[in-house]
Amino acid sequence: MHQRNLGPFPVSAIGLGCMNLSHAYGVPPAPEAAEKVLLRALDLGVTHFDTAALYGFGANETLVGRVLSPYRSRFTLASKCGMTGVDGKRVIDGRPETIKRTCDEALARLRTDVIDLYYLHRWDKKVPIEDSMGAMAELVAAGKIRAVGLSEVSADTLRRAHAVHPVAAVQTEYSLWTRNAEIAVLDACRELGAAFVAFSPVARGYLADAFHTVEDVAAFDAKDIRRAMPRFQGDNLVANLKLLDDYRARAREAGCTPAQLALAWLLAQGGHVLPIPGTTRIDHLEENLAAADLKLDPTLLARAGELVSQRTVTGPRYNAPTQTEIDTEEF
């Protein structure tokens, strides 16, 4: 597996986002199936596993800890605080005392003495970013975490946080159909020497040949988070589905799958970009990781980038209430 730097850690160029083994896209797989995905990823050379306290309200950290803790020296472990489940509800809380408490809880669930990269999952806008970063810096000093990351922040917030303590990585949605990072954060990360971790790199299945029709999307599980996302609704969905025939044709021309084309495009956006696709299936895992070996014509990648972009995709990525919770720049 090719490697890139995740802050101070050399890791596999493509990591594994563990979220959907416990959370977000309907009924998660059985624990035995999830365990097989994690172990197969490790066997294939993945050395970057990404989880969070939010995912399954602790269930994902518990899963990752149970399955992977015997192999702890073989991979870089990333998790997140600042957005967790409280009494069955999602809560954003960036107060220093909460960050420190949830770190201790995460360490116990993950069965480890230290988390390599610990992100502030969301900036709690009621708390100055400097205060939240101060707590993260104290966790580094205490030896409970090795490096600090931020998720869904603007370039301005990144720089304010970096002035308190070095930021090793920023994690934000980035794919052909979500380009907000290109406004400022991608360049800010390069300037500050931070990695950029791209979550939802295959556009929540849109670029992975996971569905083809309005009816396919209508069949999503009732608890699937995509049901609340405007791009998967009404006229927006109809317009976005029309892009896929040409996109699949570009993948065939490249001699790869649609998901591999999406991942190869991301890897070509800069050496500091690290995609973390998630999956519940071993065949999809193997398909995704093979994208790191592709050598595609830059002209073909550029054409894919013109076909699916912020100019051609219809609808915002989040609904209005969720949009208020993030700090990323918007077109």
For the question of residue 318 being annotated catalytic, the response is no
The CATH H-level superfamily of 3-206+260-296 is NADP-dependent oxidoreductase domain (3.20.20.100)
25, 55, 174, 206: which is the annotated catalytic residue? Answer: 55
Residues in the chain with pLDDT < 70? Answer: none
Beta-carbon-side half-sphere exposure of residue 41 (alpha carbons within 13 Å): 36
pLDDT of residue 26: 87
Q: Distance (Å, rounded) from C-alpha 13 to C-alpha 4?
A: 5
Tell me the whole-structure pTM to 2 decimals. 0.97
pLDDT of residue 140: 98
Backbone dihedral angles phi then psi of residue 20, each to the nearest 5 degrees: -80, 5
pLDDT of residue 1: 83
pLDDT of residue 13: 98
Which residue has 């050395």 as its token pair? 47
- Which tokens is 171 given? 């994690």
- pLDDT tens readout for residues 163-198: 999 999 999 999 999 999 999 999 999 999 999 999
Q: Distance (Å, rounded) from C-alpha 147 to C-alpha 275?
A: 19
pLDDT of residue 107: 98
- What secondary structure does DSSP assign to 32-93, as a single string? HHHHHHHHHHHHTT--EEE--STGGGGHHHHHHHHHHGGGGGGSEEEEEESEEEETTEEEE-
pLDDT of residue 12: 98
Widest CA span in the chain: 53
Q: Distance (Å, rounded) from C-alpha 261 to C-alpha 166?
A: 33
